[in-house]
Structure 1
């Protein structure tokens, strides 16, 4: 089978398309999936550059990828809920930039029949991340105020829609076309971070979520109410500032297993959640796709298709 791999850390030039052995089930709770589509995630680039070796150590040659949609081709004898021929979406740490992947059953969900493989895979990381932040860690309640820094990306889009479904008042930052993008997703307020100072416009948020990172993160403490929560998916927040402002602040590594997709897929079926696909490219343009995501300014997911 064909797979995109690299044998050293570096920039996108290390990515090559190789002919490799098709994976096989080696644990009876696994499934073999013929991949139809996968997405580019910021973590892919961090792993490729060698920044995540302490958290996600890899061995070369490495096939990247955190998600996929496709059709089950084989199942282990202990798999309970899936059969050959099922259309599914899956999560993984590595292995999905390829024509086939093997994943445990706990990382598999049925693909909603009303959406395409490309739309379905665009849900996996954003929705499981949003669920981890809003439900598992943030415990968002009706009428609470949620502020999302960097709301026009794929995770931000999922955060807005899930938070609104939970009954929260949602404010997000974006710029350019991202302003209308997040308003159309249901954001109650959209702040242009290039021309407006969010610290002057937002106060007493129950939950602040940082999807952008960088120097602006420290300014987010001015937005959280005392006793509130600041969660980041980009970098650990300052514990010194957390103590100073009287808030809980932590870095969240999301749980991308199938159980954290359940609520999002329910909302999809109710018409309260839309997949956010920004661009679709063929698998052999993975390097270009990673560069596109790294450059920023993408409103939604970049999806790659596998023929």
Structure 2
């Protein structure tokens, strides 16, 4: 099968086309023919060598955590899926390839209510948003929720989760994303790149999720949180606060919470409330486009970048 990976750290040009064997799935695995996979900032950091000290890669390395596809083979012990099922898979690596084998307990059925491109975009940001809400925040039924970075992947999912539970949401993002913020349910929009009415937003939110890239919001989360409120940081950085009694929690991805639980939550919410992800770039399964995808993510291009494997290149669907 064809895959894209790299044999050295560096800029996006280190990507190369790789031919890999695909073995039959083990007894507890399914084999998935890939339809589309999402590109995450984590992929970029791996390729740059930012985690050399903590995660040594075996070259050639095929990255990728998030994909959607069709089950084409099943292991003898698998009872939860059958050949022909469309599924979403969150995995440690390998999504930049035509086929993967995945443990059945790391796979969820793709609901008809979630598009294939949205499904390919969901796992990494969905897990982060789910954990931030359920494991790192304490939220009462009447809490006002603030989301800084409300139109990014994690932030937009937090907005939709909050609205599904009936919360009033203050969303902050750049002015150009105001329409999208309102479309996903933000009640009050703050453009952080324009002058805004401080009296309207300061100390208004009980819980603020800082979902900005890198967590750098110039103190905005601290401005809109109430005294004795909470700030939940997706990024791991020091975040000094001036507001009295505010508790700051960092989302720790190493805590060992269930990824499957998070994905099942989002697929259920998609079928009941509705879930949308902002796919900005839909590229092809070519070396040129994989390189382009990394360039876009590296440049902090807005929205999600997804690589789609065209139907003519897929064997089964």
Same fold (TM over 0.5): yes
How far 1:186 moved relative to its partner? 0.2
How far 1:99 moved relative to its partner? 0.3
Partner SS, residue 220 of structure 1:
helix
Matches within 5 A, 1:188-203: 188-196=187-195, 201-203=201-203
Matches within 5 A, 1:225-236: 225-236=226-237
Matches within 5 A, 1:33-48: 33-48=32-47
The worse-fitting range, judged by mean Cα deviation, of 223-232 and 8-17 is 223-232
Q: Check 1:288–1:146 CA distance in 2 against 1; reply closer, same or farther (3 A cut).
A: same
RMSD: 2.5
The worse-fitting range, judged by mean Cα deviation, of 287-296 and 189-198 is 189-198
Task: Tell me how many residue pairs correspond in the alignment.
Answer: 304
Q: Check 1:58–1:139 CA distance in 2 against 1; reply closer, same or farther (3 A cut).
A: farther
* Residue matched to 1:295: 299
How far 1:92 moved relative to its partner? 0.8
Partner SS, residue 35 of structure 2:
strand
Structure-2-length-normalised TM-score: 0.86
Unmatched 5+ stretches in structure 1: none
Deviations 1:225-268 (A, max 9, x none): 34432222222334x65997541322432857221122222221
Structure-1-length-normalised TM-score: 0.88
How far apart in 2 are the matches of 1:281 and 1:246? 43
Contact persistence 1:183–1:190 (CA under 8 A): yes
* Residue matched to 2:69: 70
Contact persistence 1:224–1:247 (CA under 8 A): no
* Aligned equivalent of 2:271, options 269, 272, 277: 269
Stretches of 4+ aligned residues off by more than 6 angstroms? none
Deviations 1:202-235 (A, max 9, x none): 3152222222225436553343334432222222
Contact persistence 1:108–1:257 (CA under 8 A): no
Contact persistence 2:230–2:246 (CA under 8 A): no
Partner SS, residue 73 of structure 1:
strand
How far apart in 2 are the matches of 1:198 and 1:130? 28
Q: Check 1:198–1:79 CA distance in 2 against 1; reply closer, same or farther (3 A cut).
A: farther
How far apart in 1 are the matches of 2:179 and 2:281? 18
How far 1:80 moved relative to its partner? 3.0
The worse-fitting range, judged by mean Cα deviation, of 90-99 and 129-138 is 129-138
How far apart in 1 are the matches of 2:78 and 2:242? 44
How far apart in 2 are the matches of 1:172 and 1:3? 39
* Residue matched to 2:260: 258
* Residue matched to 2:144: 145
The worse-fitting range, judged by mean Cα deviation, of 96-105 and 244-253 is 244-253
* Aligned equivalent of 1:283, options 282, 285, 288: 285
Unmatched 5+ stretches in structure 2: none
The worse-fitting range, judged by mean Cα deviation, of 280-289 and 196-205 is 196-205
